[in-house]
Amino acid sequence: MYDFLEGPNHPSRLHVRDVDQSSAVLEWDEPSSLGGRREVWYEWECSRGDCTNIVATPADKKLMSRTLRLSGLKPDTEYSFNIFAKNSVSKFTDTPAYRVVDLRTAPLTRYVVSGLRVESEQKDGITLAWLSPAVSKKVKYEIEMESKIGKPVIAATEHTYHTSLNMSPGIPYRFRVRVNVDGWGEWSDPLWYEIGRGIVQQHQGPETTPLGSLPGWVVLMAMVLFVLLLGFLVILCRRKTHNRKQMSDLDVLDTYKQDTMTPDYSSGNRQFTDAFRSGKLTEFMSNGSLDHLLRGKDARGEEMSWPRIVDMLRGIASGMKYLTDKGYVHRDLAARNVLVDSELTCKIADFGLSRGVDDSAEQEYTTNGGKIPVRWTSPEAITHRKFTAASDVWSFGVLVWEVCSFGERPYWDWTNQKVISEIMLGYRLPAPMDCPVALHRLMLWCWRLDRHERPTFAQILAILEKYARNPDLIYVDNAAFITGRLATSTANLPTGSPGGPMIPNVHPSALPTLSEFLRSLNLSHCIEKLNKEGIFTVTDLARRSHLDMLAIGLISEEFQRIRSALAQLQDARGMSRAAETTTTLPLRSATIRPSRHDDGFFV
């Protein structure tokens, strides 16, 4: 009898499938126990954050599906949501069964539209134009038009211009534009426009109340009150003056007269024609150099997320692409020459060694002498002293290694001669501790001995843009993706690679069924997704790569669990696996970081 008076357990595997600046998608699985009944539904509740304007899809109070989309969230805000599992007898239980999930919406991006202007005028409208942000991909814009007689109207476009029509004369309109680059940025400064008058001031817009629009009796009443207040103040001041004592009634006052007067010699005598030393005004970067920031965070035990590191590298690549397009070779690109502001935006500095290249096809600069930073310089620049954009790409690869190792000195305590000889023999820096495999692939591509085989900064920027849009890709060991030739098939990937398939070399009858295999990993909820993609056996599952699993809808954690189980299955069945050779970095805490001015830094 009591079995039928029991509510279901809490939902299982509640997680956030997707989240952006204003919305989030929650998913969960069916409770492990339904309380002896067949029916079950779900309800949600916002328990933390600004919950006033949240809109749920589906909007039913009783949810029959296990997916919930919540919109109307505020950017960069923490929320907590409770998901309840209920049935017909849940109201008789004392404590409802629910699970809590915490999330934080994405912040507004740093991209803001600038240069908003009126390009042309029509009879009942205008054409606006603005400057596009410095990114190498398509972006979207939203244009907001607002007046005091109606609700705001928002239009979308992919161009840097837009025509707004059906504007009424005599009414000021406010226009604002924002851009979507991996998320929406803030609105631009408003532009006010009125048909027949042109651009008007902000105080004449719909958010202010002009004096002429007030009723006449209100203006008259305000003037009367002002006159009465002014008269009261005049009478009060005159009474105070009238009540003061006469000078004859005052006590005799002692007076003080200074006996001597000290001449005031001008401290600026004969100095007005001195020349002031000229200076240079630069932007203040509160976090200093990039290597100083990374080493400080490492010493304090502070962590930085890999998406944040990728975003910083993307900014550096964007700056180097700009310099390369302008015909400049930096020659000293390193973490010490990158400055970081309070928002962790990286900007390239220290152009003491930079040179403009000629207009030849090779676009190279040849130096006749001087010291060069060997650990960051490409082999052809060391041996032949020829600097090109490709030599800056080599330096960028070393910079990526510095960032991923949190400020380690490249090649540790090796001498410059050993660094040069080992590089010419084919040695390359190993992946730093916990470094994503795709970032190390990018470093190795930048360190190709033939400079014509290295990527351009445009290609590097495009790759980092992909990683910023999908951070899971940085954990994929797929060299074809790094070089911009990502294939849909994974047949050419080596067996057992981190991103490739791991195919068991045993008879299919000796393997467990797909259902048994996933149930042992508590991944039964993935069976339906896999079957829809034609995966019915463990062998089919093992043939799929990390990218295939992400495309199907699995998350990286689920793929890692499947891959680990396949590896254990191979070991248990006596399958042969290729041993992977790895290089161990020195312990970060035990590494001695010499000063940048130590002997052997330049040759």
Q: Which residues are catalytic?
A: 332
Quick count: other Cβ atoms within 10 Å of Cβ 399? Answer: 28
Torsions phi, psi for 463 (to 5 deg): -65, -45
User: What's the Cα-to-Cα distance from 559 to each of 14, 277, 537, 553, rounded to whole Å?
Assistant: 18, 63, 16, 10
Residue from 450, 454, 455, 374 nearest 419 by CA: 374
Residue from 404, 398, 392 nearest 363 by CA: 392
Alpha carbon 377 to its chain centroid, in Å, reads 30
191's CB contacts (< 8 A; 6+ apart) are: 116, 117, 118, 128, 174, 175, 176, 199
User: What's the Cα-to-Cα distance from 179 to each of 160, 164, 188, 192, 471, rounded to whole Å?
Assistant: 10, 18, 9, 19, 21
Burial of 442 (0-12, 13-18, 19+ CB in 10 A): buried
Handedness of CA 537, 542, 545, 550 (dihedral sign): positive
- Which residue type is seen at 537? T
d(CA 314, CA 357): 24
User: What's the Cα-to-Cα distance from 325 to each of 34, 318, 389, rounded to whole Å?
Assistant: 64, 11, 10
Retrieve residue 186's tokens.
């803030």
Q: Mark 492-528 as b/e (b = at least 16 C-beta within 10 Å).
A: ebebbbbbbbbbbeeeeeebeebeebbeeeebebbbe
Alpha carbon 161 to its chain centroid, in Å, reads 26
Q: What is the DSSP string of 374-389?
A: GGGS-HHHHHH-EE-H
d(CA 499, CA 475): 8
| Residue 551: half-sphere exposure toward Cβ, Cα within 13 Å | 9
d(CA 402, CA 395): 11
595 DSSP 8-state letter: -
d(CA 140, CA 145): 17
d(CA 10, CA 16): 16
Q: Find residue 155's DSSP bridge partners.
A: 143
Burial of 478 (0-12, 13-18, 19+ CB in 10 A): buried
The H or E element containing residue 48 is strand 41-48
Retrieve residue 236's tokens.
């009060």
